Amino acid sequence: MNATTESAVIQSALNQAAAHHLSNAHLDALEEETIFILREVAASFERPALLFSGGKDSLVMLKCAEKAFGIGRIPYPLLMIDTGHNFPEVTAFRDQRAAELQAKLIVRSVEDSMARGTVRLSRPDEPRNAHQSVTLLEAIEEFRFDALMGGARRDEEKARAKERIFSHRDSFGQWQPKAQRPELWTLFNTRLAPGEHFRVFPISNWTELDVWQYIEREQIALPSLYYSHPRQVVERNGLLMPVTDLTPPRADETVQTLPVRFRTLGDVTCTCPVASEAGTAADIIVETLSANVSERGATRMDDQTSEASMEKRKKEGYF
């Protein structure tokens, strides 16, 4: 494909998106698969939980759970591991959505792990994102969860692309990429030995574009940070770092106020926005069609330490 042809293809896709001619059949198939997996977990495990951060992927998963079981009938609790450095708009939205669905919300904090001495920071301002693994494993032991559903998708990042939909964890909560179980058609192996558990990824086959198309189709409400808004930022390591009390500008950095939005939301200390004027889900669909950098590659400072950083964290028990 030459440059002229590629430009024509992208423009055609953009025109289709702008005209809302996106395929509902494709979204119907993804939704059906996700609902099947959510029900399969409810039927196969004794103590499952749904990881819920208040972000767009977990809100899509929650919408499918609402369709699978109905408001007030979701048969597992929602679990969030809070670093203490989350955006307040997101935690407020998390609480509001859980209350609307009459779902049980469990929050466990990295700060509690720090108080117990199971998490020790090398310096006071060290990002806490990676330390969520410890708090998560402690929550699994506390509640004896045997399946945790997460909103990770294969297109987000290389290590997540290696995960099975039903991804086995050993009795130490660790992931062994070379010891994964085969998944043929919709035949999932859910057998566990004592102390083991599964991480289950019901929207693993969705792409970022699918998620935004579904958000638009289902009119799913999101935290306002996902849409364009003016924000003070500095350029750092090729990304736009938001200026906050936790991430102040350095002496050699220039503070700018730009229209930005977040493609993903996580710990304030490592989550970066992208320059954007997209104010609606339809606008973001058009932007996503022309994006050439993965979601996490464009927004997560912690994933840039090395190409293997996410896989290393997942082996240690990360989401």
In this predicted structure, what is the pLDDT of residue 296? Answer: 61
In this predicted structure, what is the pLDDT of residue 98? Answer: 93
In this predicted structure, what is the pLDDT of residue 252? Answer: 94
- CA 296 → CA 2, 99, 117, 226, 316, distances in Å? 28, 29, 30, 14, 19
What is the side-by-side strand order in the sheet with 274-275?
Answer: 239-242, 229-236, 256-261, 274-275
**Where are the CATH 3.40.50.620 domain residues in the chain?**
24-209+308-316
pTM comes to 0.85
Q: What is the pLDDT of residues 73-104, one digit of tens each?
A: 999 999 999 999 999 999 999 999 999 999 99
In this predicted structure, what is the pLDDT of residue 4? Answer: 47
What is the bridge-based pairing of β-strands 256-261 and 229-236?
A: antiparallel
In this predicted structure, what is the pLDDT of residue 23? Answer: 63
CATH node for 24-209+308-316: 3.40.50.620
In this predicted structure, what is the pLDDT of residue 2? Answer: 45
- CA 47 → CA 143, 147, 274, 280, distances in Å? 8, 7, 38, 37
Residues with pLDDT less than 70, the chain:
1-23, 294, 296-310
